């Protein structure tokens, strides 16, 4: 899920709920590129010299380096980044209220998803701005990622407030799982 170059454009102004300014985006552009390419050595060098970089908003859409790497399926980078950030930073949201797990789900990255859920199980039930959990996002975008869909189905709980299996978006989830070819796995859940 590569971001267009405009996502890191330097003629950006700060938006409500977005700590990034054009100056911040310019400052963190090398970190963005490192996360995008999965270049941990470049990122580590940057992180070692900037204490704010691990949780900095580095795109116009308020993504962190963890979000960018997860969205690109850079699992090894995600795992290393997780050890460089405070645990509560795993719950950081971008402008669409996606967590890094939502981004890993879009990328179809099983390894990144497992690492994120292992460290912070509550991420499986995190909802974006439209009430979608990572499981619903994966069922929409990660076609063919049956193992990821199965894994997210197992770790997602049918609890408030998301209630992915019985709530308002449950029918969307069922339909998308059937369309994805995950109907056999769906029977186990239901």
| Residue-wise pLDDT tens digits, 29-65 | 999 999 999 999 999 999 999 999 999 999 999 999 9
Tokens 């704010």 -> residue = 52
Q: Kindly state the tokens that stand for 71.
A: 């969205």
Q: Kindly state the tokens that stand for 34.
A: 């490192």
- Which of these, 129, 94, 92, 87, lies nearest to 1 by C-alpha position? 94
Length of the chain: 190
Sketch out the chain's domains with CATH numbers.
5-189 (1.25.40.20)
The mean pLDDT of 16-28, rounded to a whole number, is 71
pLDDT band at 12 (very low <50, low <70, confident <90, very high): very low
pLDDT band at 155 (very low <50, low <70, confident <90, very high): very high
Q: Residue 185: what pLDDT?
A: 52
Asked if residue 146 has pLDDT above 90, the reply is no
- Which of these, 168, 166, 147, 169, lies nearest to 157 by C-alpha position? 166
pLDDT band at 9 (very low <50, low <70, confident <90, very high): very low
Backbone angles phi, psi at 37, to 5 degrees: -90, -10
Tokens 């003629």 -> residue = 11
Tokens 């908003």 -> residue = 57
Maximum pairwise Cα distance, the chain:
51
Asked if residue 72 has pLDDT above 70, the reply is yes
Q: Residue 63: what pLDDT?
A: 97
Interatomic CA distance for residues 165 and 159, integer angstroms: 9
């Amino acid at each position: 899920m590569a971001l267009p170059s405009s996502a890191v454009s330097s003629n950006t102004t700060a938006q409500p709920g977005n700590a990034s300014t054009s100056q911040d985006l310019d400052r963190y552009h090398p970190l963005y590129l490192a996360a995008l390419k999965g270049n941990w050595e470049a990122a580590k060098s940057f992180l070692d010299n900037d204490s704010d970089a691990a949780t900095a908003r580095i795109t116009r859409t308020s993504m962190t380096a963890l979000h960018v790497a997860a969205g690109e399926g850079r699992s090894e980078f995600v795992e290393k980044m997780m050890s460089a950030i405070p645990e509560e930073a795993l719950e950081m949201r971008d402008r669409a209220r996606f967590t890094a797990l939502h981004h890993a789900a879009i990328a179809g990255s099983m390894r990144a998803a497992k690492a994120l859920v292992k460290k912070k199980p509550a991420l499986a039930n995190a909802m974006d701005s439209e009430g979608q959990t990572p499981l619903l996002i994966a069922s929409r975008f990660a076609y063919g990622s049956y193992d990821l869909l199965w894994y997210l189905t197992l770790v997602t709980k049918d609890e408030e407030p998301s209630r992915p299996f019985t709530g308002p978006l449950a029918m969307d989830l069922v339909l998308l799982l059937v369309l994805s070819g995950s109907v056999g796995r769906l029977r186990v859940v239901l």
